[in-house]
Every structure is written in C-alpha cells, then in structure tokens.
Amino acid sequence: MSEILKLENINYSYIDGGYERQILKDLSYSFDEGKFYTILGPSGSGKTTLLSIIAGLDNAKSGNIYFKGKDLKEIGLHKYRRNDISIVFQQYNLISYLTAVENVMLAMAETDNDLPKDKKTVAYNLLERFGIVKTKADRLVTQLSGGEQQRVAIARSLASNVNLIFADEPTGNLDTATEKEIIEIFKQLAHEYGKTIIVVTHSDAVSEMSDQRVVLKDGTLSEM
C-alpha cells in the first residue's frame, strides 16, 4: 500500500496561563492508502488538535505534512481542504436550511475535482448507498434522525471524490447499533473504495474495528 499522508516532526504548543503547553512533540507518522485508522488517547492528549492540523484547519508550529508526497505548504490549506480531504464531525455539521441531497451537493460545488455532470443524481445515489432513500434525501436535514444525519455527513464527505476522510468522534452522538452501522460504512469505504479513513475516537468499539489503532500519548503517535 502506498503512503497517502506523511507527518514529519510535527510540533504544536500553546500558551495556557502564562505557560507554554506542548501538545505535539516531534510527531512523525505515515498513513497508507485504503486503510481505516483510529487515533486514540486520553482526554487532553491533543487528538482534536492533531486532527485539525492534518485536516488543514490549522498550522503546526513546525514540521512538515506531505499529501501524496507533496508538502501541504505548497498545496495550500484552502485548496487541500477543497480538493483532497473531507471531514466528518461529531455534530454532523449539516446546514439546517438545506435538504440532505443539497448538503451533499454542497461539497460538490466547491471542489475542483472532476465530477459527473448530473451532480444531483450522484448525490441521490450516494445517499441511497448509505440508506437514505429519495423521499428522505429531499427532506431538510433537521427532519432526519441523528444516525441519518451522520450518514448524510459521510455521503457529503465522499461527494467531492477525495481519498482522505477525517472523522472527529463521528459516533459520539449515536446509539450502539447506529455506531456499528457507521463503522461498517467506514470499513467499506476503506476496503472497497480505497479511501483512507482517519477517525479520532474514545470508543473502543470503533477502534477495535479499525485496521490500525494509533495512540497519541506525550505528543507522539504510536501503533498498538
């Protein structure tokens, strides 16, 4: 399997109460294509910070991140977010005044990636793949259940045809049965569609089902 994301000597710190708090310390790690990763770690270990840095939402203090061998500084964070990755959040972060299908189409409108012309049909198909039938796809997302909303969020993450998907506690608001369904979807995406899934989670159930469990401790990542 080829390397999709490489972290090299990543450092991150912030000032807290007058003292510098080091969160990530010379962190280096490589993520391969087509694998489902979970990042574990105790509260406050810096999981979310790490995710925001590798998802292009924030800059590391030092170090380099390479996407498919290219430095993120070269690609540009904005372009990286638009064309190369997508993020699934615990709160789903769907836009409330749009329908499920419109939320999915949102990501398609922004990316520069090649997409089929009939975007709406693609969006319906994506949603249907995750169990959201057309009648539900045309509803405002506020009228869907939590699990359905998370499926819409995952469908949106796939809509822009990216290979790297990040998820921050994606099952945190879901019941066990739905959590299992979502994890199955992630596995399916990694193994059948060759996507790289990197999930930050507290949940053992989720991490146990991943291909690779990685622990963030003392500012560095280590495999379990």
- For the bound state, the minimum distance from the C-beta of residue 151 to another protein, rounded and expressed in Å, comes to 16
- For the bound state, the minimum distance from the C-beta of residue 191 to another protein, rounded and expressed in Å, comes to 25
- For the bound state, the minimum distance from the C-beta of residue 122 to another protein, rounded and expressed in Å, comes to 13
**Binding residues vs another protein (CB under 8 A):** 48-49, 51-52, 55, 57-58, 78-79, 81-83, 86-87, 89-91, 93-98, 102, 105-111, 140, 156, 160, 168-169, 172
Whole-number Å distance between alpha carbons of 39 and 48: 10
Whole-number Å distance between alpha carbons of 15 and 90: 27
User: In the structure encoding, which two tokens stand for residue 146, read together?
Assistant: 């939590």
Burial class (CB in 10 A: 0-12, 13-18, 19+), 192: exposed
Nearer to another protein, 63 or 98 (CB): 98
Nearer to another protein, 168 or 179 (CB): 168
Nearer to another protein, 192 or 219 (CB): 219
Nearer to another protein, 111 or 125 (CB): 111
Neighbouring residues of 87: CB distance < 8 A, sequence distance ≥ 6:
55, 57, 157, 165, 166, 167, 168
